Amino acid sequence: MHSNLLRICFLFLLCAPFSWAASSNSADTHEFLLSNGLKLIVREDHRAPTVAHMVWYRAGSMDEVNGRTGVAHVLEHMMFKGTHQVKSGEFSRLVAAVGGRENAFTSRDYTAYFQQVEKSKLDEVIRLEADRMSNLNFDDAEFLKEIQVVMEERRLRTEDNPSSLLNESLMATAYMSSPYRHPVVGWMNDLQNMKASDARDWYRNWYAPNNATVVISGDVDPKQILKVVEKYYGAIHRQVLPERKPQTEPIQKGIKQVQIKAPADSAQLAMAWKVPPLQPGKLDDPEPYALELLTAVLDGYDNARLNRVLVKQEKVVNDVGVAYDMISRGPELFLISVSMAKGKTVAQAQASIRKALDGLKQKGILESELKRIKVRILSDQIYKRDSIFGQAMEIGTTEMAGFSWKDIDTMLEKMQTITPEQVQAVAQKYLVDTGLTIAVLDPQSRKSIASKEGK
């Protein structure tokens, strides 16, 4: 009785909202290439009089070299420390004065800066952002203060955070040669030895219009905005970028394990398998889509397989998470992480995870499970349009990984064609021990300082 109704819904969902979402992407989005190599992408969204302005540099921690890990992120901090025209801290004051929200973030693949403003203030933030693309000028004293701030950031987010420590060790163990083995924030010792000149070198090497993509979403007229972008960004000279070595990760030939001792109450376990990301120009490859769907079949909703079996039925873990990012510049991992339930061991959790995966590999998944996930993907296409910032983010991350924003719709269409057999096939092919890295957090009780001093 229930299922008939469901089937009708699926048909509707699969057709109606999807074609709507797909057609609007290309109509509302405009791409321009400036003569200095800067790419501009404008997404029109006229629901409210606001705009998101982002500049994305294709330079992230994966472009760093030994001894200088963290420099991409340190430079991100220094970008607020003044140009020839604008004094240190002034950038933020000027953005604040026009009512703007701003920040920046660094990842393995890129560094991005953004402001959100009421639309009449867009020219002002474009002017400021273009200025610091080529005129950055900070003194050594500013650097010495800011590197302390960055070390506090590392203490806050990594040193005192056992899950981050676990993840850091997992990455450093899973990868031998890929620069993905280094944390984005950098190793503490590299931060302690970093010089202002390291940050300046980084800026000189990578901050150029031909290594940048500007994404503007919101209530704008693309032709008019092109003129403003030409005026401010267009004057900056193209430059020769450093050679990027491929640093391809060698094929893993057996299981790897690492253990971390850190203050925590429960043990944590992370299992990560080497899997392929989607390659630009190879959008027909079904495997990355199948892996993305596998992620959701395992962990995409409250009754997804791992949550149902491990948390609710077997009660062997307290929480479970599954992650895979189809879009990235570097290699990819398929990651399952869990924290133990009270009284359960890491070995028990690992056995349960393996049992669940073996079941999936042998028996496959249900058509109904996959449909459920596909419906979720389609409705998310509509929900994501509620945020103009979210739309700019999606365009930027896609472009930085070497794809075009135009590929987003193709990827979504391909995703809808994947079969249960294809999902089963990637599980069989990739979730095997030769490409597996296991990281375990061994919890240590916190020693209060009082007891350390024997008082």
Q: In angstroms, what CA-CA distances link 445 with 25, 262, 319? A: 52, 8, 21
Q: Which of these segments, 15-23, 280-288, 404-412, 425-433, binds another protein (CB under 8 A)?
A: 15-23
Task: Give the total residue count for the chain.
Answer: 455
Give, as ranges, the residues between 153 and 212 that touch another protein (CB under 8 A): 153, 155-156, 159-162
Nearest distance, CB of residue 217 and another protein, angstroms: 11
Q: Please identify which residue in 48, 176, 255, 366 interacts with another protein, judged by CB under 8 A.
A: 48
Q: Please identify which residue in 15, 20, 193, 235 interacts with another protein, judged by CB under 8 A.
A: 20
Nearest distance, CB of residue 125 and another protein, angstroms: 11
- Which string of DSSP letters, residue by residue, matches 201-245? HHHHHH-SGGGEEEEEEES--HHHHHHHHHHHHTTSPP-PPPPPP
Nearest distance, CB of residue 145 and another protein, angstroms: 4
Nearest to 322 by CA among 256, 258, 271: 271
Per CB under 8 A, 28 contacts another protein: no
Q: Which of these segments, 8-16, 173-181, 253-261, 358-366, binds another protein (CB under 8 A)?
A: 8-16
Give, as ranges, the residues between 317 and 376 that touch another protein (CB under 8 A): 318-319, 339, 341-342, 372-373, 375-376
Nearest distance, CB of residue 357 and another protein, angstroms: 20
Give, as ranges, the residues between 393 and 432 that touch another protein (CB under 8 A): none
Nearest distance, CB of residue 197 and another protein, angstroms: 19
Nearer to another protein, 38 or 340 (CB): 340
Measured in degrees and rounded to the nearest 5, phi and psi for residue 270 equal -125, 130
332 annotated active-site? no
Give, as ranges, the residues between 70 and 89 that touch another protein (CB under 8 A): 80, 86, 88-89
Distance CA 108, CA 183 (A): 8
Q: Which of these segments, 235-243, 246-254, 377-385, 408-416, binds another protein (CB under 8 A)?
A: 377-385
The total of other beta-carbon atoms located within 10 Å of residue 442's CB is: 14
- Cross-strand pairs, 270: 337, 439
Q: Please identify which residue in 181, 308, 361, 429 interacts with another protein, judged by CB under 8 A.
A: 308
Contact 110, 57 (CB under 8 A): yes
Per CB under 8 A, 448 contacts another protein: yes
| Number of residues in contact with another protein under rule CB under 8 A | 87
Per CB under 8 A, 261 contacts another protein: no
Distance CA 94, CA 337 (A): 43
Give, as ranges, the residues between 116 and 145 that touch another protein (CB under 8 A): 116-118, 120-121, 124, 144-145
Nearest distance, CB of residue 44 and another protein, angstroms: 12
Nearer to another protein, 156 or 351 (CB): 156
- Which string of DSSP letters, residue by residue, matches 359-375? HHHHH---HHHHHHHHH
Nearest to 435 by CA among 196, 257, 293, 255: 255
Q: Is 70 left (phi over 0), alpha (psi -120 to 50) or beta?
A: left
Per CB under 8 A, 96 contacts another protein: yes
Per CB under 8 A, 27 contacts another protein: no
Which of these is catalytic: 76, 332, 369, 394? 76
Nearest to 283 by CA among 376, 396, 392, 413: 413
Nearest distance, CB of residue 429 and another protein, angstroms: 27
Nearest distance, CB of residue 134 and another protein, angstroms: 18
Nearer to another protein, 36 or 92 (CB): 92
Per CB under 8 A, 149 contacts another protein: yes
Q: Exposed (0-12), middle (13-18) or buried (19+): which is 3, by Cβ within 10 Å?
A: exposed
Per CB under 8 A, 283 contacts another protein: no
Q: Please identify which residue in 11, 33, 97, 366 interacts with another protein, judged by CB under 8 A.
A: 97
Contact 117, 125 (CB under 8 A): yes
Distance CA 22, CA 27 (A): 9
Half-sphere exposure of 248 (CA within 13 A, CB side): 3
Q: Please identify which residue in 92, 134, 173, 404 interacts with another protein, judged by CB under 8 A.
A: 92
Nearest to 309 by CA among 293, 291, 322: 322
Nearer to another protein, 71 or 174 (CB): 71
Half-sphere exposure of 22 (CA within 13 A, CB side): 16
Nearest distance, CB of residue 255 and another protein, angstroms: 28
- Cross-strand pairs, 103: 114
Contact 184, 64 (CB under 8 A): no
Binding mask 217-256 for another protein (x = CB under 8 A): ----------------------------------------
Q: Show which residues are catalytic.
A: 76
